[in-house]
Amino acid sequence: MKAYQDGLAGFEQAGAQVLGISVNKPEANRRFAEKLGLTFPLLCDTEKKVSSQYGVLGFLRVAKRTTFVIDAEGIIRHIDRGGEAMDPSSAQHACSLLPSPQI
């Protein structure tokens, strides 16, 4: 998550919004976000519904690190899993290729 915070400007330049989702409880997420200095939202999925719907629950229903690039219409355009999900450069590049939303 720290790498995504450090690369936040690149996402913003591409017109993208960064959101983190964790299966941890709100208080744990708040402490984690403060520790890392995160300025983007860190959402809670304590019931693991979102993690299940996106197919990222692994062994013992532990969420696997995964990054999704979702366009303005809600279509998944890019996925990074495991170690790749820790490095925001691939997701930043995918965001830069998305068309700007029409307002």
Instruction: Please report, for the chain, the start and end positions of each structural domain, with discontinuous segments joined by +.
Output: 2-97
> Where in 50-94 does DSSP place strands (E)?
66-70, 76-81
Alpha carbons 80 and 66: distance in angstroms, whole number: 6
For the chain, percent of residues with pLDDT exceeding 90? 55
Is the domain 2-97 a CATH 3.40.30.10 member? yes
Q: What is the pLDDT of residues 9-42, one digit of tens each?
A: 888 888 889 999 999 999 999 999 999 999 999 9
4, 5, 32 from 41: Cα distances, Å: 12, 11, 12
Overall pTM surpassing 0.75 (yes/no): yes
Confidence of residue 53 (pLDDT cuts 50, 70, 90): very high
